[in-house]
Structure 1
Amino acid sequence: MTVANRRKDGRAVPSPRTVDVAHQRKREDDRPGVWVAYGKLLRKFRIAAGYSQETLAPLLGYSPEQVASVEQGRRAAKAAFTEAAERVLNAGGVLATLQEDVDLAKLPPFFRDFVLLEMEAVSRFDYDPLLVPGLLQTEAYARALFEGHVPVLDEDDIDNNVDVRLTRQKLLTKSPLVDFCFVLGEAALRQQLVGSETMREQYCHLLTQSRLRNVAIQVMPLGAGFHPGLYGGMVMVETSSHQQYGYFESQGIGHVVSEPARVSEFALRYGKLRSQALNIEESAAFIQQLAGER
């Protein structure tokens, strides 16, 4: 190796090819195990059915590159992909059985414990001061958030994040129904993340969701004075076993609160918060007014 390929301390400088190989191995090591297992099963069913990736792709409504990514465990299969693969490959429900775990692995590690609690919830109360909560976001609003993420996400990560966020919204209508309450800070509604038409669509979506029997949406106006929500956002969850938990998140770091005394403080603050916010009818009128301003 020439002198130009060594550092001042005498150690060899990795060649670009070595760096690329190392980077690829790291990406492969980062693949969730359930994605890899799903991909191996998909490949097995595809070969057994006599399809190549190129011939299977149009039958699923995806490109050959996307099929290859799923088989290699680099991309998570969406629910629609799995439904099509089950039908075309006669997979007997094997792939569908993995879908929930595939979706869970899309989530950031810090959020997974909370989502497992959320899936067992009988009630979920949420306060968001700065953004529309994920369970109420439109696809366009969610995509704008992930496209503006720092550090920058690649397209696959953006698609995965949007998909899992929209998939989680099934919680709003699952049976048995979960009792939801969302208190939104006025700033969350006025924050112009995207164009006027997309924000109008978001407001209309909030109004539609507020008409669900199990969903209450309230607005905390900016002129309300001091209220417990000024400490930051929070979520309260009660599970089917009547265990209560709190959750809060900031700058991509989340924490589940299980200590009874601390959870009780969350409940006290949330009750006070709801009493100070606009009521359900006033909140709907407020959001309707914002929709008309766009």
Structure 2
Amino acid sequence: MTEIKGTGGDSGDVARPQLDEDLSEVSDFLRAVGKQIKLLRERAGLTQKEFAKQVGYTESLIGAVEQGKRTPQRELLEAAERILDAGGLLLVIADDIEQAKAKARVRHPEWFRGYAGLEGIAEELHCVSLYGVPGLLQTEDHARAVFSMRQPILPEEVIETRVAARMARQEILTKWPRAVFSWVIDESVLRRPLGGWGVHEAQLRHLLKIGSTRGMVIQVLASDRTEHAGVDGPFILITPKNRPQMAYIEVQTSSRLITDQEEVRIMNARYGTLRAQACTPQESLSLIEKILGER
């Protein structure tokens, strides 16, 4: 069993040491992009409020983008290109931002790189999530909301880099041949609207999409269940290519990668029991739709 002190696992959402990488390149680039958008907007004679309405985003988001505190998505840049008559400038920037995100893929903090390396070559990954949406299933806005509510608070450039790194991890969901994925998620996670209802609604719809994808199974552990095999806490079972299955657990500022096969066997049995106690995959998707309809 390997213990990694002060680390983070699938979610990486508990209090952590700051990233030790130099983030100035990414943050300076985002600020430069924001200044260009602001200059084009002002040249077009639009206020932030007017511009936000035309591109279909909130005024506060536009302000954050212009200050370099938020990464502008391609959809925003494409709309701004058309409205501001930018002559192709913002379309080029969209490609540059994708390249910047690619650089962020290697910006996992040192304490997380070991697990991230295993995750990237996983042939199977099974996760029990009791407190939050698993990192691999989070939308970008949900991830940003989670990192933004960290205590102590994180600098904006650290938030953006961590969000980009988390989104990059999700590429394993689209690799082919596809690994075998399954998640057991507590119902309370689906009912906690982190980031506000708009962010949460998009997150629930994303879970519906993932749960309807061949080779990916989401099961909800309903709150009315009278038995719960996961009361000892969340965990991940991961099988890297050409390596035996391992287990991963985390709590507060500590996490452990468990390689002892007897311990892994026990956690595997526990996972099987949890899946039996949870709703079926189809029942789980129906429950998510029900929660969406309750709003």
| Bin for the TM-score computed over the shorter chain | 0.5 to 0.7
Deviation at 1:83, TM superposition (A): 6.0
1:1-294 to structure 2, matched below 5 A, reads: 30-31=20-21, 80-81=95-96, 99=102, 103-104=105-106, 106-294=107-295
Question: How many pairs align?
Answer: 222
Q: Which runs of 5+ in 1 are unaligned?
A: 1-26, 40-53, 67-78, 86-95
1:70 corresponding residue in structure 2: none
The structure whose residues are more often helix, as a share, is: 1
Taking structure 1 as reference, are residues 84 and 172 closer, same or farther at Cα in structure 2, changes over 3 Å only? Answer: closer
Separation in 2, partners of 1:127, 1:173? 21
Separation in 1, partners of 2:232, 2:181? 21
Deviation at 1:231, TM superposition (A): 0.8
Overall identity of the aligned pairs, in %: 32
Secondary structure at the aligned position of 2:269 is classed as: helix
Separation in 1, partners of 2:20, 2:192? 35
Separation in 1, partners of 2:95, 2:270? 40
Query: Which protein is bigger by CA-based radius of gyration?
Result: 1
Separation in 2, partners of 1:169, 1:252? 23
Asked whether the 8 Å contact 1:183–1:217 carries over to 2, the reply is yes
* Relative contact order, higher structure (CA 8 A, sep 6+): 2
Taking structure 1 as reference, are residues 133 and 80 closer, same or farther at Cα in structure 2, changes over 3 Å only? Answer: farther
Secondary structure at the aligned position of 2:230 is classed as: helix
Secondary structure at the aligned position of 1:230 is classed as: coil
Taking structure 1 as reference, are residues 84 and 281 closer, same or farther at Cα in structure 2, changes over 3 Å only? Answer: closer
Question: Residue 281 of structure 1 aligns to which amino acid in structure 2?
Answer: Q
Asked whether the 8 Å contact 1:130–1:191 carries over to 2, the reply is no
Separation in 2, partners of 1:191, 1:110? 28
Deviation at 1:84, TM superposition (A): 5.5
Deviation at 1:82, TM superposition (A): 7.4
Deviation string, structure 1 residues 238-285 (Cα, Å, up to 9, x no partner): 122141110011224322111111111111111111111000010000
Deviation at 1:130, TM superposition (A): 1.2
Q: Which runs of 5+ in 2 are unaligned?
A: 1-17, 26-31, 37-64, 70-93
Farther-moved stretch of structure 1 (134-143 vs 273-282): 134-143
Deviation at 1:181, TM superposition (A): 0.1
Secondary structure at the aligned position of 1:132 is classed as: coil
Taking structure 1 as reference, are residues 127 and 83 closer, same or farther at Cα in structure 2, changes over 3 Å only? Answer: closer
Deviation at 1:109, TM superposition (A): 2.7
Taking structure 1 as reference, are residues 81 and 253 closer, same or farther at Cα in structure 2, changes over 3 Å only? Answer: farther
Taking structure 1 as reference, are residues 149 and 84 closer, same or farther at Cα in structure 2, changes over 3 Å only? Answer: closer
Separation in 1, partners of 2:216, 2:253? 26
**TM-score of the superposed pair, with normalisation by structure 1:** 0.67
Deviation string, structure 1 residues 55-77 (Cα, Å, up to 9, x no partner): xx97xxx99x99xxxxxxxxxxx
Asked whether the 8 Å contact 1:179–1:214 carries over to 2, the reply is yes
Separation in 2, partners of 1:181, 1:190? 20
2:78 corresponding residue in structure 1: none
Taking structure 1 as reference, are residues 261 and 289 closer, same or farther at Cα in structure 2, changes over 3 Å only? Answer: same
Separation in 2, partners of 1:264, 1:234? 13
Separation in 1, partners of 2:169, 2:228? 29
Secondary structure at the aligned position of 2:105 is classed as: helix
Secondary structure at the aligned position of 2:185 is classed as: strand
Asked whether the 8 Å contact 1:125–1:236 carries over to 2, the reply is yes
Asked whether the 8 Å contact 1:236–1:247 carries over to 2, the reply is yes
Separation in 2, partners of 1:245, 1:133? 18
**TM-score of the superposed pair, with normalisation by structure 2:** 0.67
Separation in 1, partners of 2:236, 2:160? 25
Secondary structure at the aligned position of 1:229 is classed as: coil
